[in-house]
Structure 1
Amino acid sequence: MRKIVYALLSIVVAFGLWVYVITTVNPGYEETFYDIPVALANVSALHDRGLMLDTEKTPTVTLKLSGNRSDIIKLNKSNITLVADLSRIYESGRQRVAYSISFPGDIPSNSIEILSKSVVEITLDIAKRNTAQIPVVPVYVGSVPDGFRTDKESLMLDKDYISVTGPAALVDQIEEARIEVDLNEQTETINQSYRYTFYDKDGNVVASEKLITDATEVNLTLKIQRYKEIALKVDVTYGGGANKNNTQITISTESIQVSGSEQLLDALGDELVLGSLKLSEILEDTEIEYEIKLPEGVENLTGKKTVTVTVKFNNLITQTFQVTDIQTQNVPEGMDVELITQELTVTVRGPKSQIDQLTEEDLGVIVDFSQAELGTDTYKALIHVDAIRFNAVGAIGSYLVDAKLTETPEPSIGVE
């Protein structure tokens, strides 16, 4: 009976040893590992020589390996390391490069036998490397609504050029980096980032993953403002015999176009007053230049900085008279006036039919002393013309009278 037991035990032990050898120690275990990626070392050496990889896909190799099963089962395509050294490549074109093979550190290198390789050397395409500065060119689509304008001359880009590096044959094709700006329905200034597209000189798109750029977007600021036409005016005060019927006033530029914000243009209104024009102070036909002054933030699109106002008197003549009738009014209480000026030379203007009948007796000088103070001073004088007989005649120019104001003496009291 004991012999039978020993025999069975021997069979079990022998089977266990056989299983161990077959599953673990078996030195002839084989397995194939497909598409193991090859790491490329010293790529920077290519750049230093003006070269670069022109291969889009990572090269792979298939290996058939043999060894102890316990070692082989530890391997996979991720921990088998294949490295190709590019430091010995000195020219462009198709190059064949050897690669090294290494296994995880816990597997002795001499325990694995390489039965076969799909390729002994990998093949790489090497290109000449170039860097270029490509100008950014905005391309406008559509147009802003009526009543609005774009100021493309003051366009601002955060980058005027895109730096691009890649295969020389590809980089040399690039003519411009276009950004497409849609103007349709735009009524406010655009401040936005845009992706660009490379184009060649024939308008074809140039695109490749081999191109390396220093930016993916360009920020653009484009001023969009409302514009309108405003009339240019002068405030005219008629006088000195000049009225709407006998005076012709023309402006060299009657209107200009301006642009600005909605608020500024609404506040500006539909006309701009350049200044005032007092015809009683203008002696003869003349031209007066006015500067066009606009509120800050409003731009003059016309470009004209000044306009000329022409004044022409029709069928009017002038005549000079010596006037001695000088009257005072509104002398402050407690003051007396002594007129130093006794006679004024007065020039009047009007139609010949009335000027011919006018004499110095028809003219008077009035001096208002309501704001006077004690002492000698010069006061503005107004010229009075008999408006009933000479309704189309008026004095021209300005007139001054010298006068002395003193305190009114107290009345003397008689002694009995």
Structure 2
Amino acid sequence: MDKNKIQKNFLIKILCFITAFGVWLYIYNVENPTRSYKLTGVPVEIVNTDTIESSKLTVLPNQDLTVTLTLEGPASEVYRAKAEQFKIVVDLSTYAVKKGSNLIPVEITQYPTNINIKKNESLRVNVEIDEYIEKSVPVKLEVDVTTKDSYYPFEQVVKPDNVLVSGAATYVNSVQWVLAKGSASNADADVSLNLPLKAVDETMKEVKDVKINPTTVDVLIPVRKSKNVTIKVPTKGENNKNIIIKTIEPDPSSIDLVGETQDIGNIEYIETEALDLSTITGNNTVTLKLALPKDAKPVNGKDTVSVKVTVETINQNSVSVPVTITGLSAGLNAEPSSKNISVALKGTDSLLSNIKDGDITATIDLTNLAEGEHSIAPKVKVKEGMTIESISPEKLKITITKVVKPEE
């Protein structure tokens, strides 16, 4: 086929297309025949919902209500119709509704004037109705407060501590708390916050579509200066004679107090209630109440402290001690009836089991004594912490004689 013939056929096709398009334009714009058209997904609005609250009912939220409209009119209009050109409502003030599903007629209040809507009187939508309830719910705080050094936040105070949650029972019944979240940093004075509330269930997931009244709460966090002070343990009574109390140690040995600066500024230490020594029979840990100042509180919130008491048992032990003679005049000789004495000691196990040379001494002073027999009590000295129960014998017989010089 030659080139001229191809071009001729192409021109004929273009002319046919233009002619057909022109005929369509004529029919659509000049003749404009009547046509029917189904418009789907036209939204339905529910109005006057408050009128059913007096009957303790409410519309379940998040219902996507739509209808399909059968439109009739000029082709140029019905084919260009859009859902937003129509306003369709369900008026709850004109119908008696109940809990559950309610099939309610709709009312078309706005639509293009040159379009008819066929069978509009049969249009209905299914509206879900639930009980309208309200309940009091506690406020749960999640407020993070950091303070400057040596300052401490007290217990947070929230007002009100309960609020009303209302709406569809399906949603309200799942609300466990209303949550107030906030924060404050570097605080050295009382912190006041007004925080919005959010309804949450027992898993802390937000429950939407409920009303909260009031919508905010006021939170006060008192912030006070702190001071570290030592703990002292006073005592009363006398301890058992068979023990020695070695240490009395509070745990912790100090505590952080918080309060107004003028109230805690001069406090250097605090005492516990008196420890009754007569009740101590061995190593023990007791709990004693702190004698806290009127306007100061412990940071840890505890008003008691553990006190560890360690003791040593007192026992008796007899030790043989060599006797040392002093003060003997020159030219004399002294012979004691025994070179050792037995000393009964009383003391702690640690002392009695670790006696060293020099811890116990026994001496007899013969100063200014002449020849002959003498009965003398030795002087015994013991290491500090030991006491002498008895000495045996109490006196030694000392025989003093002249030293005999050998003949030359």
Report the TM range for the smaller structure's normalisation. Answer: 0.3 to 0.5
TM (norm. structure 2) is 0.46
TM (norm. structure 1) is 0.45
